[in-house]
């Protein structure tokens, strides 16, 4: 098929699809979500978990398994990317150094990003934010210096340890419920006083684990992809 003809046909099909989707969405009552489950959760989340951020309660308690899966997906993706790209970052690198502004700003930003990320992680059960958002910021904190100093070797060792233990902690907290004869991921340690930093039982712990895991994995992923574009950094893998 010629490129133009394909584009034209695709456009026609897309218009058709669009019209059908619009028809479907029209039939949905916007703003009147059925909330079969959502209503119940909104009503009892505080008693169940002690988290004031109900989204966090859903994420870590009601749908904690999804979150574990989500962490696992990042881990799978990182492992698979590692497998595909080979052990990057070991070789003596010689990338082009970044400009002064980036280097200065990176040094300046690093502690702030670190603090911000940590804050967002540990307050995830109280305010908007949480392990993923905070973890992403933490990853950025470590990635910005790398941008500033492309030649600096990445130490995957520490990241691996953090990654491994953070992930394991999540599963172990979940399995702790089984030991007590309950279900997987049962909330532990009591709900506490709503609004306090040390409340919501094991939720902050889970968020911490997620934050560290996501942070280290994203940082590792970005470092690998960045290194992959640079043949000198591919650790002997051609």
- Binders of another protein among 206-225, rule CB under 8 A? 214, 218, 221, 224-225
Note whether 1 binds another protein by CB under 8 A. yes
Question: What's the rounded Cα separation, in Å, for the pair 133 and 164?
Answer: 20
Interaction pattern, residues 103-142, with another protein; x per rule: CB under 8 A:
------------------------xx---x----------
Q: How far is the CB of 179 from another protein (least distance, A)?
A: 10
Q: How far is the CB of 158 from another protein (least distance, A)?
A: 12
Q: How many CA atoms lie within 13 A of 66 on its CB side?
A: 9
Question: What's the rounded Cα separation, in Å, for the pair 14 and 60?
Answer: 38
Q: Which is nearer to another protein, 178 or 197 (by Cβ)?
A: 178
Note whether 97 binds another protein by CB under 8 A. no
Q: Which is nearer to another protein, 16 or 99 (by Cβ)?
A: 16
Q: Which of 204, 236, 212 is CA-nearest to residue 75? A: 212
Residue position matching structure tokens 């039982």: 201
Residue position matching structure tokens 């640079």: 230
Q: Of the candidates 79, 94, 152, 155, which one interacts with another protein according to CB under 8 A?
A: 79
Q: Which of 132, 133, 125, 131 is CA-nearest to residue 199? A: 125
Phi-psi region of 153 (alpha: psi -120 to 50; beta: other; left: phi over 0): beta
Q: Tell which positions 141-170 bind another protein, by CB under 8 A.
A: 157, 160-161, 163-164, 167-168
Note whether 190 binds another protein by CB under 8 A. no
Q: How far is the CB of 149 from another protein (least distance, A)?
A: 22
Question: What's the rounded Cα separation, in Å, for the pair 155 and 160?
Answer: 9
């Amino acid at each position: 098929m010629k490129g133009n003809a394909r584009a034209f046909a695709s456009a026609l099909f897309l218009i058709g699809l669009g019209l059908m989707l619009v028809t479907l969405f029209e039939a949905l009552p916007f703003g009147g979500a059925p909330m079969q489950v959502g209503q119940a959760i909104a009503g009892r989340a505080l008693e169940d978990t002690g988290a004031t951020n109900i989204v966090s309660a859903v994420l870590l308690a009601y749908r904690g398994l999804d979150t574990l899966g989500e962490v696992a997906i990042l881990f799978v993706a990182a492992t698979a990317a590692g497998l595909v790209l080979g052990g990057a970052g070991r070789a003596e690198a010689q990338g082009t150094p970044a400009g002064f502004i980036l280097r200065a700003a990176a040094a300046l930003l690093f502690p702030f990003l670190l603090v911000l990320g940590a804050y967002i992680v540990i307050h995830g059960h109280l305010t908007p934010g949480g392990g993923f958002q905070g973890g992403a910021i933490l990853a950025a904190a470590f990635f910005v210096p790398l941008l500033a100093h492309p030649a600096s070797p990445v130490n995957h060792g520490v990241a691996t340890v953090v990654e491994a233990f953070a992930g394991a902690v999540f599963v172990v907290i979940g399995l702790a419920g089984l030991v007590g004869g309950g279900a997987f991921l049962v909330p532990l340690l009591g709900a506490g006083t709503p609004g306090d930093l040390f409340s919501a039982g094991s939720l902050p712990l889970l968020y911490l684990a997620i934050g560290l895991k996501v942070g280290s994995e994203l940082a590792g992923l970005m470092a690998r992809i960045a290194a992959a574009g640079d043949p000198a950094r591919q650790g002997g893998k051609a």
